[in-house]
Amino acid sequence: MAELRDLARAGKAWPFEEARKLLKRTGEKTPEKGYVLFETGYGPSGLPHIGTFAEVARTTMVRRAFEAMSDIPTRLICFSDDMDGLRKVPDNIPNQEMVRPHLGKPLTEIPDPFGTHESFGHHNNARLRGFLDHFGFEYDFVSATDCYREGRFDAALLQVLRHYDEVMDVMLPTLGEERQRTYSPFLPISPKTRHVLQVPILERNVEAGTIVFEDEDGTRMELPVTGGNCKLQWKPDWSMRWYALGVDYEMSGKDLIDSAKLGSRITRILGGTPPDGFHYELFLDDKGEKISKSKGNGLSVDEWLTYAPADSLSLYMFQKPRAAKKLYFDVIPKTVDEYLSFLERYHREEDPAKRIENPVWHIHSGNPPQAETGLSFSILLNLASAANTEDRDTLWGFISRYVPAATPETAPILDGLVDYAVRYYRDFVKPAKRYRAPSAMERAALEDLLGELDMLSADAEAEDIQTRVYEVGKRHEFESLRAWFKALYETLLGQEQGPRMGSFIALYGLDNFKMLLRRALAGEDLSREVV
């Protein structure tokens, strides 16, 4: 453990950099509350999305990095702002007419349109917990409704009331002229309609801990700011939460930089210390535009997990969190193969200092699974493409000949990849396949290649096959070897890019590949499955 601690404290990976901030923040001493607190936030008016996964995954990586360099206990809370008033009926829920009369009420006071929980807020909170549990995250769930109603925020709310004018001095310059006239950090909840009200505060009684406002029917009302009678606007609420809970670390998106600065100022006004953290970049679609739930561009978590394992998604979140990245279907195969490559490299690496810099150390909290066969996701896609098959058993037939010891039971990672490859091939590769006939020069090269391969034994090594492929390409008048390989991919696989041919031919089977060559030379339809 001492060696790991020293290595972690000197680590260069970004989670170690973030963890060292916390080490400095604590002075290497346990905070009075007994732990270092990490927080992620969630707005439960919708369903968990890829941003939710990204934030919890990245925060967990920082948490584990901190635990590697310190014995100070840690805790991660996922906070649900479920006391927010629902502003509009979501398009993707059933029984919308059931919800519409309750607009403006806290989410936890709106009937559940799904009919499974005591409120819409409780339903979405359950979806959030199920989402996080599916990925094995270790966290504590915290509900805003519970904190407000059970008094956990009472002391902090009274502190906001005491410093009301100072909080307003921070907030008002950020608002338009009209909004300034009605703004208050406190949102009273109408005792009559249960609506969360955005109304001016007419009077404040700091000693009594109350505010006076005009209710929706014009009645002048006085309510305590405590006990769940009020909630705060989201920016002061964020600050109050940091203060009340003693949050030590929270990251947020680049779009919230200014909000986080405001929040930090308010936290200091209340007498607290803002958390450490950093601002990650946002995801872009294939056109370079910001991903938006309302636009429906980009990828969802469910879509990624249809075609690739969760560990590959974690790798995508680990890599360059401060850089804007495109998140669309084409990045999946590359990311899966990068994950497999990092996993193999981790187990080959003997230097512990280099091991902890490997992304899989952070993805798997220091305990990555064993690497398996060395077969990449891309080569499985190309295998499905060459065989024109969507049948997992057919792919396993090729794999078993190439790696006799591999079975679905002994190679569970590979077995999962076979299913993912079949789905990705079916939905993305197969529809885009466009075969073309070889030119006269390419035909001569293909015939030459067939002759070279005929001289090899059926169990020839991948490197020997690759050498023959290279030699044939050099003998013919291609502009470059790249043009030769492109011709192979387009005439034999129906695609512009493809695998390392030696490894692919060895996996597909030398005899099978020679049959593919003969069919191409005979002008047959290669899109037809022949196994």
Binding-site residues for ATP, please?
293
CA–CA gap between residue 342 and residue 315 (Å, rounded): 10
CA–CA gap between residue 484 and residue 442 (Å, rounded): 8
CA–CA gap between residue 177 and residue 166 (Å, rounded): 18
Find out whether 14 and 321 touch, Cβ atoms under 8 Å: yes
Alpha carbons within 13 A on the beta-carbon side of 419: 10
DSSP 38-68: EEEEE-TTS---HHHHHHHHHHHHHHHHHHH
CA–CA gap between residue 270 and residue 160 (Å, rounded): 7
Residue showing tokens 């993805």: 363
DSSP 494-512: SSS----HHHHHHHH-HHH
Distances (CA, A) of 92 to 129, 191, 296, 426: 19, 30, 12, 28
* 325, β-bridge pairs: 283
CA–CA gap between residue 489 and residue 520 (Å, rounded): 12
Task: Output the known binding site.
Answer: 293
- Closest to 39 measured CA to CA, from 240, 230, 233: 240
